[in-house]
Structure 1
């Protein structure tokens, strides 16, 4: 975790903004405070808490675009993570402070707002900084990605911190493993039939963990991956498979939202001409940004699927897939950012229209929703 920010950036976060984000419950927000209360209610013990420093469990984490060039240049990722400390233990949004996790003043802020030990030798502080690093390195705080990364790092907090059932986690894991198997088969084509099933299962599990690089040597050689980048590459590939899985299951919802934007996003009440012009401008920008994000996700996932099928289904050139793997880390973050923004926008929209079949809004809430959605989709 890089702490290279040149100036202090502990900001007051607008209550309305945070309230809307939490109400929407998107993968751009990890409401540790609410989940921690659930863990306590379920009988979770201190050894099962996500953070060793107690007050960190009452924080809220949000994925946001860095506000200036200094922070963007200091980070290897296009999206940052902001931690919000409430002024009270309930984290009920009456007020608080926030700071990006790559701010050079983070450690001081953690000591002041959360009571983290100032000692560099503190094992509890180092453990908590590791969890913060995991959160910061994720492009979105999807429960599957967070849990998988935590397990890979040897962490075993209470399952209540991850809002995903064992059945769903298993389904996604099995889907990822099936995508992994052809690359293992192609790299170990001299395996005898007698031990093939067990051998492949063992190697696919190693590819999932991405820790035994010696065993995965033939896979790295086949795909032109260096040992230095193998861990990040395999993890990013895993993340892309996950986003592809989610994308395929969210299409109807994304289409429904697009249909609403095109046919039902007009105010119920009459407006003066100037107000109508303002609304039309906002709607046009809103629609263009949504279309841009959706198209970007579609193109990146198509690039992955086409290169994968070309190699493993059609048994043709491996070059497109190798090229994709080399860019996988960048694609992982781009996909996570765009998909979480689309999902966040849709969830915010639902807080306005509810479940009613009559989904028209009056001018003021529609204009407000448009402004919020434009900010989310554009990254402003």
Structure 2
């Protein structure tokens, strides 16, 4: 009986976590259902829908850690993407079905839940499966990363599916391409043509696209990248630059959250000493996990920045930067996963404390928040 109560408690905690995740907005959730409703309200036509299979547009996609050892061992990445089909037309999380995108039964589930064609020759189903692969490959579902990857693969759905303005997308793109410039100038330093500036700009654009390995051959050779790995390597580097950009912008908020964890996690009401001790242990674990995630992101980004500046600012050894590029795919995923977990925990916290200057919580609130936040940051 006790085991049943524990399972129900965990399930309720999971529903609460996901509900608050949607309420807050999170780089670990792509709420396609809500965005699709907005697209329809703006007059979006079927040709502009994200998915060709209609009911896929009413799904919710969530980045989650695999729940058991077998799934973790068979997966290529430690975090998967779960698709959730709600029983409710408003895509509420109190009832529905979900499945990880790498599940071997995915196609059958999509046929049953979303009405996807079961024909192996269906072009619409193939296009939808490719978009699902894109979502699954991303370490987080930040609008910039998702939109950029979709464009690179030749997809152009309604802009309402990406919660980023054209101006902001352009600013981030310019920031990324500015960091691409030195490697192109280094690899093509022998260019003396009168149109050199235009030529180099064209190559930077090709580096952004990452697919023209013939045009980028000098870069690929100089950085000792395998031709077969070039597109993924350049894309992962692009992702690391993007996360570095976000990291700088997030610091004040991350510091505010750390300050709250260190100074304002005393409950407003009193409780038995045993309950207080349990809560204190939980909060201590919460702080430790947050510090661990933050430190990991800082160290990985510092490693990248140091290798980049050693080569392109100080004109010294290229080895550290070549080493970074060789593990860029792994770093992209690690940084993205940790940052999205931190952002998710902060967004969840803000749904509890709001904008009030009085940010102390009652025991039940603090206890619930600490349990869910620990699960988010721990990756369980």
Which bin holds the TM-score, normalised by the shorter protein? over 0.9
| C-alpha separation in 2, matches of 1:34 and 1:82 | 17
- Relative to structure 1, is the Cα distance of residues 14 and 257 closer, same or farther in structure 2, using a 3 angstrom cutoff? closer
Higher mean C-alpha deviation, range 356-365 or range 267-276: 267-276
The residue number in structure 2 matching 1:276 is 276
| C-alpha separation in 1, matches of 2:112 and 2:17 | 24
| C-alpha separation in 1, matches of 2:125 and 2:14 | 29
The residue number in structure 1 matching 2:87 is 87
Is the CA contact 1:13–1:98 (under 8 Å) kept in the aligned structure 2? no
| C-alpha separation in 2, matches of 1:270 and 1:93 | 33
The residue number in structure 1 matching 2:6 is none
The residue number in structure 2 matching 1:204 is 204
Q: CA deviation at 1:14?
A: 4.7
Is the CA contact 1:210–1:231 (under 8 Å) kept in the aligned structure 2? yes
Q: How many residues align?
A: 370
What are the superposed Cα offsets for residues 182-211 of structure 1, whole Å, 9 maximum, x if unpaired? 000000001116222101100000000011
The residue number in structure 1 matching 2:4 is none
Gaps of 5+ in 1: 1-10
| C-alpha separation in 2, matches of 1:250 and 1:23 | 20
Q: What is the root-mean-square deviation of aligned Cα atoms in Å?
A: 1.3
Q: CA deviation at 1:23?
A: 1.0
User: Secondary structure of 1:250's match?
Assistant: helix
What are the superposed Cα offsets for residues 15-63 of structure 1, whole Å, 9 maximum, x if unpaired? 3232122112110000000000000000000000000000000000000
Residues 1:258 and 2:287 aligned together: no
The residue number in structure 1 matching 2:3 is none
Q: CA deviation at 1:12?
A: 11
The residue number in structure 1 matching 2:345 is 345
The residue number in structure 2 matching 1:148 is 148
Residues 1:335 and 2:331 aligned together: no
Residues 1:358 and 2:334 aligned together: no
Is the CA contact 1:83–1:98 (under 8 Å) kept in the aligned structure 2? yes
Structure 1 length-normalised TM: 0.96
The residue number in structure 2 matching 1:8 is none
The residue number in structure 1 matching 2:65 is 65
| C-alpha separation in 1, matches of 2:303 and 2:126 | 39
User: Secondary structure of 1:367's match?
Assistant: helix
User: Secondary structure of 1:177's match?
Assistant: helix
The residue number in structure 2 matching 1:240 is 240
Is the CA contact 2:13–2:372 (under 8 Å) kept in the aligned structure 1? no
| C-alpha separation in 2, matches of 1:101 and 1:215 | 35
Q: CA deviation at 1:73?
A: 2.4
Q: CA deviation at 1:275?
A: 1.3
Q: CA deviation at 1:163?
A: 0.1
Is the CA contact 1:13–1:97 (under 8 Å) kept in the aligned structure 2? no
Structure 2 length-normalised TM: 0.96
Q: CA deviation at 1:292?
A: 0.2
| C-alpha separation in 2, matches of 1:227 and 1:130 | 23
The residue number in structure 2 matching 1:287 is 287
| C-alpha separation in 1, matches of 2:168 and 2:357 | 29
- Relative to structure 1, is the Cα distance of residues 355 and 13 closer, same or farther in structure 2, using a 3 angstrom cutoff? closer
Q: CA deviation at 1:216?
A: 0.3
